[in-house]
Amino acid sequence: MKKSNLDNWIMQTESLPELTRAGLEALQLRKLNQTLSRAKSHGGIYAHYPDHIESLQDLQTLPFTTAQMLSAGAGNFLLCSQSQVSRVISGSTSGTSGPAKRVFYTQDDLEHTVGFFAAGIGEMLHPGERCFIAFPFSGPFGLGDLIAQAVERLKGIPIRAGFGQSWGDVCRLVRQTQPQTYIGFPVPLLGLARVYDKDFPIQRALVSADACPAGVMQALEQILGSKLYPHYGSRECGLGGAITCPAFQGMHLRENHIIGEIVDAHGTAVPEGAYGELVITTIGLEAMPLIRYRTGDYTRFLPPCPCGSVTRRIDTVSRKSGPISMEALDSALFSLPGVIDYQARLDGRLLLDVRVSEPGLEEIIRAKAAVCCPRQSIQVQTTPFSYQDTPFYSGKRRILE
Q: How far apart are CA 211 and CA 213, in angstroms?
A: 6
Domain membership of residue 191 (yes or no) is yes
How many domains does the chain contain in total?
A: 2
Q: Is 91 exposed, middle or buried (0-12, 13-18, 19+ CB in 10 A)?
A: exposed
Q: How far apart are CA 3 and CA 260, in angstroms?
A: 21
Q: What is the structure's pLDDT at 399?
A: 92
Q: How far apart are CA 384 and CA 356, in angstroms?
A: 5
Return the C-alpha torsion angle 39, 44, 47, 51, nearest 10: 0
User: Is residue 58 domain-shared with residue 198, that is, in the same domain?
Assistant: yes
User: Is residue 374 domain-shared with residue 298, that is, in the same domain?
Assistant: no
Whether 388 and 334 have beta carbons less than 8 Å apart is answered as no
Write out the residue range of the structural domain in which residue 119 sits. 1-320
Domain membership of residue 391 (yes or no) is no
For the entire predicted model, the pTM comes to 0.94
User: Is residue 190 domain-shared with residue 102, that is, in the same domain?
Assistant: yes
User: Is residue 196 domain-shared with residue 63, that is, in the same domain?
Assistant: yes
Return the C-alpha torsion angle 209, 210, 216, 218, nearest 10: 50
User: Is residue 309 domain-shared with residue 346, that is, in the same domain?
Assistant: no
What confidence tens digit (pLDDT) does each residue in 161-207 have? 999 999 999 999 999 999 999 999 999 999 999 999 889 999 999 99
Q: What is the structure's pLDDT at 211?
A: 86
Q: How far apart are CA 214 and CA 396, in angstroms?
A: 16
Q: How far apart are CA 40 and CA 52, in angstroms?
A: 10
- Boundary residue ending a domain (266, 289, 320): 320
- Boundary residue ending a domain (303, 320, 337): 320
Whether 46 and 69 have beta carbons less than 8 Å apart is answered as no
Q: Where are the beta strands (DSSP E) in 92-228?
A: 101-106, 130-134, 157-160, 181-184, 204-207
Q: What is the three-class DSSP state of 193?
A: helix
User: Is residue 353 domain-shared with residue 287, that is, in the same domain?
Assistant: no
Q: What is the structure's pLDDT at 81?
A: 87
User: Is residue 25 domain-shared with residue 131, that is, in the same domain?
Assistant: yes
User: Is residue 236 domain-shared with residue 350, that is, in the same domain?
Assistant: no
Q: What is the structure's pLDDT at 401?
A: 85
- Boundary residue ending a domain (320, 336, 356): 320
CATH code, 151 = 3.40.50.12780
Instruction: Please list, in sequence order, all residues whose beta carbon lies within 8 angstroms of the beta carbon of residue 387, skipping any fewer than 6 positions away.
Output: 166, 167, 168, 171, 195
Host H or E run for residue 195: helix 186-195
User: Is residue 315 domain-shared with residue 341, that is, in the same domain?
Assistant: no
Q: How far apart are CA 337 and CA 30, in angstroms?
A: 51
User: Is residue 286 domain-shared with residue 338, that is, in the same domain?
Assistant: no
Q: What is the structure's pLDDT at 99?
A: 64
CATH code, 350 = 3.30.70.1350
Domain membership of residue 390 (yes or no) is no
Domain membership of residue 394 (yes or no) is no
User: Is residue 190 domain-shared with residue 153, that is, in the same domain?
Assistant: yes
**Low-confidence residues of the chain: pLDDT under 50:** 93-98
Domain membership of residue 131 (yes or no) is yes
User: Is residue 103 domain-shared with residue 79, that is, in the same domain?
Assistant: yes
C-alpha torsion sign, points 105, 19, 56, 247: positive
